[in-house]
């Protein structure tokens, strides 16, 4: 997800799209094997309380730049009550952004923020902004060392980088907790690849073992592990109590990202099995990285997938 610190955000957004395309192509066979038993799209339904159905505004970034209030009004009309911002406030201050959301009956309960590399002054400002926005969650989407433009072999990140990342997340989470905020860690595919200097472990292994369960939770993007052949339910099963948020992102047969409910991922199976594990998911967040001008249709499809009653 994008961040809004100087010019890092724009480069991050561009790099992230290519990064996801590469990950999808590399792992699509494994994903097809795991998700190939998905039911017909029209039959997929996992009705949830409306207050737990959210959308990552990165999905609608192009439309929000063109008609900010109109897009927010349409999201409210669809039925959304909560959103997650990507750190991109479309030229508005946190107060202005919150006022606009309030006008349309929307609440930014979560947002993506940059933790790594940790800068306490910047993090304190991010906390202040999150409080102004009325957030409950502050989520790190991806550490900069895992983005290809910053490290030529980003998919071959070292164990020490992940150890350092875990330490910095803990520092950030302790400070956020003092303000009544919870810190989450979002994933892509990199977290589930074996580390070159410690092949028996992955970045996620380190984060799970070394981040503080009292202050750090995980926001699982179900698409990410599937691109490298890892079932997201198996990820949750390792520590159900650590998961508070899910990103609902679907995969087309070629591995690319598509609208929720139109791809090969069996969300009904994933969400039911996660529930059986006793996981307490607070937010189910619709996301589509490349929705473009069709993002409001994406929003409608995602909401229908998660909220319709059978």
**Which pLDDT value is given to residue 310?**
37
Say whether pLDDT at 14 is over 90.
no
Residue 191 sits in a domain whose CATH number is 3.20.20.150
**Which pLDDT value is given to residue 217?**
98
What's the domain count of the chain?
1
Average pLDDT value for residue range 214-229: 97
Does 103 reside within a domain? Answer: yes
State pLDDT tens for residues 177-190: 999 999 999 999 99
CA atoms within 13 A on the CB side of 70: 9
Does 188 reside within a domain? Answer: yes
Does 3 reside within a domain? Answer: no
User: Considering the chain, what percentage of its residues have pLDDT values greater than 70?
Assistant: 81
pLDDT band at residue 196 using 50, 70 and 90 as cut-offs = confident
pTM of the model: 0.88
What is the chain's mean pLDDT, rounded? Answer: 87
Per-residue CA distances from 2 to 9, 155, 180, 214, 217 (Å): 5, 19, 24, 26, 20
State pLDDT tens for residues 37-88: 454 444 566 678 889 999 999 999 999 999 999 999 999 999 999 999 999 9
Does 2 reside within a domain? Answer: no
Say whether pLDDT at 249 is over 60.
yes
- Prior bond of 117 cis (ω within 30°): yes
Does 106 reside within a domain? Answer: yes
Q: Characterize the bridge pairing of strands 137-140 and 107-113.
A: parallel
pLDDT band at residue 238 using 50, 70 and 90 as cut-offs = very high
| Structural domain boundaries, residue 199 | 8-307
pLDDT band at residue 31 using 50, 70 and 90 as cut-offs = low
Does 34 reside within a domain? Answer: yes
Helices 120-133, 94-103: inter-axial angle, 10-degree rounding: 20
Average pLDDT value for residue range 135-140: 98
Does 33 reside within a domain? Answer: yes
Give the residue with greater pLDDT, 155 vs 34. 34
Give the residue with greater pLDDT, 9 vs 133. 133
Does 186 reside within a domain? Answer: yes
Three-state secondary-structure class, residue 110? strand
């Amino acid at each position: 997800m994008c961040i809004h610190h100087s010019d890092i955000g724009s480069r991050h957004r561009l790099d992230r799209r290519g990064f996801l395309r590469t990950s999808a192509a590399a792992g699509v066979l494994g994903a097809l094997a795991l998700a190939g038993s998905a039911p017909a799209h029209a039959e997929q339904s996992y009705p949830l309380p409306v207050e737990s159905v959210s959308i990552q505004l990165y999905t609608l970034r192009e439309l929000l730049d063109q008609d900010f209030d109109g897009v927010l009004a349409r999201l409210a009309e669809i039925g959304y009550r909560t959103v997650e911002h990507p750190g991109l406030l479309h030229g508005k201050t946190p107060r202005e952004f919150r006022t606009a959301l309030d006008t349309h009956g929307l609440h930014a309960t979560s947002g993506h923020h940059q933790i790594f590399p940790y800068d306490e002054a910047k993090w304190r400002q991010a906390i202040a902004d999150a409080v102004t926005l009325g957030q409950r969650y502050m989520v790190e989407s991806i550490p900069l060392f895992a983005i290809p433009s910053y490290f030529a072999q980003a998919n071959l990140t070292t164990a020490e980088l992940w150890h350092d990342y875990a330490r910095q997340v803990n520092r950030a989470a302790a400070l956020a907790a003092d303000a009544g905020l919870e810190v989450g860690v979002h994933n892509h595919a990199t977290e589930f690849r074996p580390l070159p200097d410690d092949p028996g472990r992955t970045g996620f292994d380190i984060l799970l073992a070394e981040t503080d369960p009292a202050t750090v939770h995980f926001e699982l993007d179900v698409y990410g592990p599937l691109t490298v052949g890892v079932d997201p339910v198996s990820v949750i099963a390792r520590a159900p109590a650590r998961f508070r948020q899910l990103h609902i992102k679907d995969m087309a047969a070629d591995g690319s990202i598509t609208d929720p409910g139109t791809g090969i991922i069996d969300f009904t199976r994933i969400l039911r099995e996660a529930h059986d594990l006793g996981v307490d998911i607070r937010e189910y967040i619709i996301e589509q990285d490349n929705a473009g001008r069709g993002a409001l249709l994406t929003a409608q499809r995602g909401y229908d997938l998660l909220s319709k009653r059978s």
